[in-house]
Homo-oligomer: A and B are copies of this chain.
Amino acid sequence: MQPTTQETNQIDTQEGVAIAQLARQLKALGEPNRLRIVQLLREGVQCNCELGDALGMAPNLISHHLRTLREVGLVEVERDAVDARWIYYSLDRDALAALLGAFDAFFDPARIKERHPACGPQGSLVRLDEIGVAA
């Protein structure tokens, strides 16, 4: 009773949704300026203006990138309690931890199976091997 998609052939569909989410977040992070923004947020920088100063980018562009980071759930927003004009951005620790976990699980070297061609001449050889024939 899995969440049905179309092409369920070799892949365990279980991971389907997780893959979509992982792709979304990696896509958001796969942009140098956004990665630098994350780096700055990691260091405690929080307002649009200072991010812009540090990166030499216009505030509206910073705003744009922060938005995409927000949309994938990696960044949180907060208004200043004293002066509501200021908006503070910060990394969502939980989301980041979850991403780290998903990434580590997905790319765990231990999960990489040895060569296992299922087609081509070497594929047939391996298949013989699997049946129980010695190499």
A binding-site residues for B, Cβ under 8 Å: 6-7, 9-11, 15, 19-20, 22-32, 35-36, 38-40, 42-47, 49-50, 53-56, 80-83, 86, 88, 90-91, 93, 96-97, 99-100, 103-104, 106-109, 111-123
Contact = CB atoms under 8 A, between A and B. Distances in A.
B86 A49 contact: no
Given A32-B19, A35-B23, A83 B121 contact: yes
B109 A100 contact: yes
Contacts of A116: 43-46
Stoichiometry (number of copies): 2
B43 A113 contact: yes
Contact of A49 (B46, B53, B119): B119
Contacts of A55: 7
Contacts of A80: 120-122
A40 to B, nearest CB: 6
5 contacts: A9-B53, A50-B118, A80-B122, A83-B120, A90-B115
A6 to B, nearest CB: 7
A96 B112 contact: yes
A39 B15 contact: yes
Given A40-B11, A104-B104, A97 B118 contact: no
